[in-house]
Amino acid sequence: MQSLAATSRHRELTQELFNIGDEVAQYLENLAQAVADWDQELAEDCLVELEEIVADARLDARRIHAELAGLRTALTSGIASGSMSLESVEAPQVAPPVIMTAASLRDRFPILNTPVIVGELSQSLNARTELVEEYLLHVVDWVLAYTEYGARDLDAVRLPKLYEQAGQFAAEAVQAWIEVVAAAHGAYTRSMRGNNPPEFLAERARIAEVVARVAQKKRQTAGEYAG
């Protein structure tokens, strides 16, 4: 009975680690959508949200890792020895991100002519924005792959560090985009905003609507009982 409880708890905690990685990845995707829509203000808001999520993720991952390590010891060599066997896990084939800077974006997609040729300007700014979006989605893949790796092999990845680095990579990339696109070429950025409405905003609006309806129904029910 004790062994079954430990095994069940082990599954729950492992799933919690996956959930943490999923949540960090979701907020990274939100950030990528904000950049894809050329929305500097929304991107800055998403960065603040991501910072909060990463802070929570680091604390939760550290706590869960400690409990999981104890359970795995019990299930493989302790009082419940033999209840679980550990299989070797191969490292993911997702390359770690390289820090993106304003200088690297300028070097990759320069704007050379003075005065600026409109076609060249739009081509470079579009390319810079697309690269930042792709970069953020790569960070998403990296987080998901290494969260799974770390959840299956507790000695392989320091998940709190993983989430901290993911937040840093994302912040550097978005600040670089703001510097060389949104702030440097505000008129063009504003003209592009709204072409790729972020899906997560629509989902948030839908959830808010549902919550509002439920709250209204509760108020109506309370009023009926009061009457």
What is residue 1's predicted lDDT score, i.e. its pLDDT?
Answer: 44
One-letter amino acid for residue 123 of the chain: Q
Dist CA 84 CA 113 (whole Å):
65
Q: What is the pLDDT of residue 76?
A: 72
Q: How far apart are the first and last CA of the chain?
A: 52
* Digit-coded pLDDT (tens) for 119-136: 889 999 999 999 999 999
pLDDT of residue 78: 55
Q: Mean per-residue pLDDT for 138-166?
A: 96
Mean pLDDT of 189-202: 93
Mean pLDDT of 141-159: 95
Tell me which of 27-31, 140-144, 208-212 is least confident: 208-212
**Residue 208 confidence (pLDDT):** 82
Closest residue by Cα to residue 38 from 216, 183, 210: 183
Give the residue-averaged pLDDT of 46-75.
92
- The string of pLDDT tens digits covering residues 80-109 is 555 455 566 788 999 999 999 999 999 999
Residue among 201, 140, 136, 137 at smallest CA distance from 171: 136
In this predicted structure, what is the pLDDT of residue 5? 79
Assess whether pLDDT exceeds 70 at residue 57.
yes
The Cβ of residue 45 has, within 10 Å, a number of other Cβ atoms equal to: 14
- pLDDT in the model for residue 7: 81
pLDDT, mean of residues 45-60:
97
Note the pLDDT of residue 225: 57
- What percent of the chain clears pLDDT 70, i.e. is strictly above it? 88
